[in-house]
Structures are given as structure tokens and as C-alpha cells.
Structure 1
Amino acid sequence: MTTLPTTMDEILKLAEQTGAALAPLAADVDAGRSNGHETYRILRDAGLLGLLVPREAGGAGLGFADYSRVLAVLGAHNGAAALGFNMHNVAIGALSESAGTALPPAAEKFRAWLFDEVVSGRKMFASATSELGTGAKLRGIRTSYRLSEDREHFVITGEKSFVSLAGVADYYVVVARAEGSEGTGEVSHFVVSAQDEGISFGEVHGLSAMYGTSTAAMKLDGVKVPRARLFLGVEGMSLFKLVREPHWMAAGYTGAYLGIAEAIYQFSADYVAASPKRAESAVLQRDLGRMSARLRAARALVHAAGAQVDAERGSLEANAMVHAAKYLVGEVGPALAQDALRVCGSAAVSRSQPLERYIREASFSSVMPAKPDECLEYLGKAALGVNLYDAQAFDW
């Protein structure tokens, strides 16, 4: 079993080394010449699956801010791998943050089991939330569950439209509502094993970028899940947890897209520096200056938002900050892409150069939750003093 480093500098060094190993795989995966599963083997072998797991359970115990820094390092090397890796951490992030909090016996047992699966078993988790027509919004979930006749299992039936790490993860954290509870907003999370009978995946979606996330539709046909795999042993509280602490759902991706923005900027700077004539151009210097300013602003806000979450998780200010960070990174990435097109010219559109991939990847931030309009609406409501702890105040 790989033991994670004990200092943040060492963890960032490990992330850099792992990212360097992932980088050469990106082009083949993105072009569909590889299924990308090798990237996740590398992440497993590096021991990074336990970044969020508390130290007393064998992990690195990273908070939201430091995790975002690690994700940015990985994203600068391989955006799709970073996003896929993030899905593992989105699935376990909130549970990892409960470290040190006393829980009821069933919840304590569940938490200990999951941490052991991640650390000792090197098991990868993924989130299975999105459905056709509603996306990742919990209120519209149609996947349903019922208690089995022997009352020892939950039986889950439904379809998910976009499940990253399909065919890669060992477990999927599935969101479902109790049969007959339509419109109540009471949804629950269940841990479904990839080996459970009744699980199937469609073909991996042919995306224009991020093919390496291994994203596909998922069907659950009467899947029987032991009661012990009900998340924390509590039904119906998932939406209310999200309303209080939305940072994983709203901004867990932000570090990966910051990393892609960093890669766009670094490629452009290196491209200009490689030619004395280009490097002496005042026009190109100003273009790089504009890119630098934009990137620094995004980086500062992502880091500040992460620190705010770590300091006062669930506060209105922390929740507003992560929405602001998600919005700004989603704006800055495509803006840098446009700058790079002007600065690098044909090098930006050549499939032989990684910049062409970075430019395509940067635009995907806008389709990941929370979407730009949702971020702005949340921030506007916060500015007007709307009670955002009310589940009815926002379209979750």
C-alpha cells in the first residue's frame, strides 16, 4: 500500500510527478485511440485516491483548498484525467469532511468501511447523479428505490445519463428517491458496487473533449443494495446537505479547469519565449500580460474560496465564494483560449500540439455544475439577502 507524503510540498511534488506520467497519455485518449483506463491505474498506484481521507484513517487529510491545488497540478498535465479523478473525490468529499464528528453507530460503521476501501483496497468511487432533462439537479431525480421484501436491501431502478468513470470505478454513489416521493425533494445516496447484479453501461459518449473521463449512461435494473450501503445510514437528507454545503457539487471541478487554464497560459508564454523576435514584440508582451492578469485573478479566487470553505464550511460567504470561483474559472479558461489563438496562431489549431486540446477542454467548464447562469443567480440572491439555506430558494 502506497503511503502518502505528510507535507503539502511533498504532496504537490507527487502530484507533479503523477501528472507528468499522465501527460503523454492525453492525446491518444482524447482522440479515442485509448479508453483512458491506464490513467486511472496510474492515479491508483500513486496512492492519490486517499487524498481526502483523514490521516487517522490512512489518508492525507487534505481540505478543500489544498485538494484544489493538487487538482490544478494534475489538470495542467491531463485535463480529462483530473476531471475523472475529481469524480472520485466528489463522491467521498463530504464524508471525509465529517472526520472527527461523532456519528450514530451505523454511520460510523459506514464511514470506516468506505475509508478502508479507499485506503487499503485502493478502490475508486464515482458519482452517478445526472439524468436526462434534469442534469445533476437533485430535485428532479427520477431514479427510485424501495425496500426489499426481506427488508435487508434497497432495490434501485432508473437510468443515469452522464456517469464519469463508467467501467473504471469500483463503486458508484447513486442518487435516488423513495418510490412515491416525487416532488418532495427528499433524495438519498447509495453506494452501488460495479459487481452488483443489474448494473449496465452504454457506450462511452463521443465527446469533443474530455473523452478520457470514460463517461457513459448507466442503467440500474432492480439493483439490490445492502442496507449497510445507504450513505451514512440516513434516508432523504441528501438535498438538504447540498443546500447547506454545496462546494463539492458546485466547485469540485474548479481546480481541474484552473489547471487547464494554467496549461494554456504556459504553452503561450513558452511559445513566445522560444523566438527572440516574438519575445521582443510589445503587442505579444501585452497579450501575455493580459493572460497573466486573468489567470492570476482566477487562481487567487480559487485559492481564497477553498480557504473560506476550510475556515467556515457551509457559511453563506463560503458558499458564495465557491460559486464565484466556478463562474470566474469558466470565463477565464475560454478567454485565455482566445488569447492563445491570437498569440500562437497556427500552433493553437494544430492537432500535433497540446494547445489545441487545452482550448477544446477549457470550454467544458460551462456545462459542469454549477453552470454559469446558476452561479450568477446564486451570487445575486446572496447579494439580495435571500435565505439560501431554504431548499426552495434555488433550483437545486
Structure 2
Amino acid sequence: MTQKRDAVLSTAHDHAMHVIRPNVDAWNAAKVWPRDASDKAGVAGLTGLYAPEEWGGQGLSLADGIQVYEQLGLGDGAYAFALSMHNICTYAACGYGTEAFKQGWARDLTAGRKLANFALTEPQSGSDPMQMYTRATVNGDGTWTISGAKAWVSLADEADIYFTVVKTSDAPGHKDMAMIAIPADAPGVSFGPRYDTPSYNFLPMSEMYLDQVVVSEDNIILPIGQGFQGSLMAIDIARVSIASGCCGLMQAALDTALSYSKNRKMFGGKNIDLDGIQWMLGEVATDLEASRLLYRKAAEALGTPEGPLMAAHAKRFVPDAAVKAANTCTQVLGGMGLLQPYGLDRLSRLAQMLRIVDGTTEISRVVIGRALKKRAANLPDLPVPKGFGETDANTVTVAAE
């Protein structure tokens, strides 16, 4: 499996260097998703990373497959993000979809001939999926009728199918949630105006509207009662995938700064010979190594009880490090770092975007904080030092002098 993973990583690196990086500025100028590029990714085997070989996938583990986005991130973080979401859907389709759905969709998804995306967030709920208003009614013939709206839908009006989380009643909580795959051409599916995202204009994002959309029961990916937990797992995979892509972004920024500073003459020498420049870039290099270790450990933990917490650690630390790296590398270039051909302004904006999508840095801190509270509850109480008094059984305060 290691040999196969390495071959896939090499293919992803070539895709980043020869397909993404030379063309990303033109994609942004055209404001159109580069379907020819994602078609090439499919031919190269990058759109079915975790899917079984019997359905045309690579059969990689999550821990191995997630490393692909570090390579793709060398070209562009938004492109890596879009393919990561497609691969999550493909993973869900092949692992949990009905036999009829797999027969109709699996091979087209793993081959990249058709694209998929995940739809959970709603305009009014953000990171709180409990506040979900999209409703699905189960009809007498087994079909589902769905109405509602989703926000921040990637590949909006570009993907061929959307794996959508819905509620099936008005009861509070998540026990009635399910996930169903909604084809883009189903009557009643429409999209709002594209969000204005200047650093990744080629990636369409908008709201998706569902008006009495009827979908076959064959398209149920996760049945009633499993939609919430399934969506949380998808988010954890997405968070670690984003951290992986951020490492590619950091490497791209660092390499740009190194390539510039090794030739830039200043104060009788080269910039790279200056201690201040070496220290700045050395800190980026250390953050990059730490980020790689963290996201890879988090990827190995996915699907275990430690998975959600490790995903939160990776999503909290790595995108922050990427923002810092992009800004530091821009500073190393000075005024030249502001020019579009060097790409650092684009990397800075992308890093900020990746801090926010699939759970902001602050949401990750909430997850980590809750874990710390649980750990604290299981630790022994500390003895009260002399000179301190207790106001109650749980509070220690300084005694009056």
C-alpha cells in the first residue's frame, strides 16, 4: 500500500506543477471552474482516493489519501479543497450508498466524469447544524420530497450531485437527520448568485435552493438517524484535508521566498545571507514541519474516538500557520511580494479562506476546550497550600493578609 500511496502522491505533485500552477491565474480571471483540469485529475486517479478498487477507486486509507491534498496545495489550496470534498462524497457513496446508487454513480464519481459536493451549512445556521430548516418528507412510494436552502455550497451549479443533510421532522435535535444525494438536474434545484471570492474566483460558491425536489429512495446515503453522525465524520475528514492542503500552500510560499531571496542583492550580499531573513524563513520551515506531523497524526486518528479532537487540533493550528507563513514570505519579498506574478497575495487570501471553511479556528477551539474540561474533571484535585482558604468545596482563593 505504501508503494501505491507514493505513486499517487507523485501523480498529484505532477498535476499540481503541470496543470494547476501554470493555469490558476487564468482560471481566476475567467471565473470558471476548470472542468478540463478536474477531468485530468480523474484520469490520473485523484477523484476516487478512498473508494474501493472494485468501483474504480484507489483503495487508499484516509491517512494515506489525505496526503494528496498537500501535493495539490502546492498548486492551489482552493482547487485542493474542492477535490477533497468530492473525494469525501465518493467515499460516502461507495461505502454507504445503496447498491442501485453505486451502480448508477460510483464509477463516474471515482473517474471524475461526474463531480460531487457536500451540502450541510444553511444560511442561518453556520457551524450549528442543529438549527437546520431543510426538510425531507418521505412519500408513500418511498421517494423523498425536499425543500430548503444550503449555503456556502462549493462547485455550485458545477457539480453533478450534492450529498445533502436534511431533517425529516420538526422535532428538535439530530435523531431525525439523514443524508441524501440530490442530482443537480432534479426539478426544483436552483442556485443563487455566486459569492464574490476574489482569491479563488474559479471555484463557484453560492446558496442552493431546494423547492419540492423529489428524489428516489435509492439515493439515500445515510438513513434517518445517521445523518448527523455521518456529517460530523465528513467534517472531520474535511478539516484534516484542509490542514493537508495548507501544508502545500506553506511550501509554495516558502519556496517562492527562497527563490527570490537567494538572488536578491542587498547590503553587499544576498538576502538569504542575512540573519533576519534566515530567522523569518526558518520559523516558517519549523511551522511547516510541525503542521505536517500534526495533520498526518490527525489523519491516522480519523474513525477512532480521538479523531474529532485531533481534527480540531489540526484545523486550529495548521491554517493559522499557513496565514502566518504567507504573510512572512510576502514580507521577505518586500514590495515585490505584493505583485501578482509572485502569487503570494493569492496564497495569503487562500490561507485566510482555509481558516474559515468547515469550521472556523474558533470552532476548533471550542472542540478542544470541551475536551480539556472532560480531562480536567478526571484529574485529582490539588491540595490547598498553606496560606490559602476555601470559600466552598470547588473554589480556592487567596487568604486575607
Please give the range of the TM-score, normalised by the shorter of the 2 chains: 0.7 to 0.9
Equivalenced residues, count: 371
Which residue pairs with 1:199 in the alignment?
189
Which residue pairs with 1:81 in the alignment?
79
- Asked if 1:8 corresponds to 2:1, the answer is no
Q: How much has 1:187 moved relative to structure 2?
A: 1.3
Q: How much has 1:63 moved relative to structure 2?
A: 1.8
Which residue pairs with 2:110 in the alignment?
119
* Cα distance in 2 for residues equivalent to 1:252 and 1:264: 19
Which residue pairs with 1:392 in the alignment?
none
1:140 partner SS:
coil
- Structure 1 pair 308–112 and aligned structure 2 pair: CA distance change class (3 A): farther
Q: CA deviation digits over 1:57-113, x for unaligned, max 9?
A: 3211122222221111111112221111112123233455x4xxxx8xx84554565
Q: How much has 1:359 moved relative to structure 2?
A: 1.3
Which residue pairs with 1:303 in the alignment?
296
Q: How much has 1:120 moved relative to structure 2?
A: 5.9
- Asked if 1:357 corresponds to 2:346, the answer is yes
How big is the alpha-carbon RMSD for the aligned residues of Structure 1 and Structure 2? Answer: 2.6
1:134 alignment partner, one of 106, 125, 136: 125
Q: How much has 1:236 moved relative to structure 2?
A: 2.6
User: TM-score under structure 2 normalisation?
Assistant: 0.85
Q: Which runs of 5+ in 2 are unaligned?
A: 377-401
* Cα distance in 1 for residues equivalent to 2:76 and 2:229: 34
Q: How much has 1:29 moved relative to structure 2?
A: 2.5
2:335 alignment partner, one of 346, 350, 362: 346
Q: How much has 1:245 moved relative to structure 2?
A: 7.5
Which of structures 1 and 2 has the larger relative contact order (alpha carbons within 8 angstroms, sep 6+)?
1
Which residue pairs with 2:368 in the alignment?
379
1:9 partner SS:
helix
1:8 partner SS:
helix
* Cα distance in 2 for residues equivalent to 1:380 and 1:121: 39
- Asked if 1:217 corresponds to 2:207, the answer is yes
* Cα distance in 2 for residues equivalent to 1:345 and 1:300: 30
- Asked if the contact 1:172–1:192 (Cα under 8 Å) also holds between the matched residues in 2, the reply is yes
Matches within 5 A, 1:49-198: 49-94=47-92, 98=95, 107-111=98-102, 113-119=104-110, 122-148=113-139, 150-198=140-188
- Asked if the contact 2:136–2:147 (Cα under 8 Å) also holds between the matched residues in 1, the reply is yes
* Cα distance in 2 for residues equivalent to 1:114 and 1:180: 31
Q: CA deviation digits over 1:334-372, x for unaligned, max 9?
A: 111221132111122112221221111111122112221
Q: Which runs of 5+ in 1 are unaligned?
A: 388-396
Of the structure 1 ranges 267-276 and 26-35, higher mean CA displacement relative to structure 2 is found in: 26-35
* Cα distance in 1 for residues equivalent to 2:200 and 2:160: 21
User: TM-score under structure 1 normalisation?
Assistant: 0.86
- Asked if the contact 1:83–1:213 (Cα under 8 Å) also holds between the matched residues in 2, the reply is no
* Cα distance in 2 for residues equivalent to 1:244 and 1:121: 23
Which residue identity does 1:322 align to in structure 2?
Answer: A
Which residue identity does 1:264 align to in structure 2?
Answer: A
- Structure 1 pair 60–262 and aligned structure 2 pair: CA distance change class (3 A): same
Matches within 5 A, 1:198-347: 198-232=188-222, 234-242=223-231, 247-275=236-264, 277-309=270-302, 313-315=303-305, 317-347=306-336
Which residue identity does 1:135 align to in structure 2?
Answer: G
Which residue pairs with 1:22 in the alignment?
20
- Structure 1 pair 304–186 and aligned structure 2 pair: CA distance change class (3 A): same
Which residue pairs with 2:391 in the alignment?
none
- Asked if the contact 1:268–1:344 (Cα under 8 Å) also holds between the matched residues in 2, the reply is yes
The structure whose Rg is larger is 2
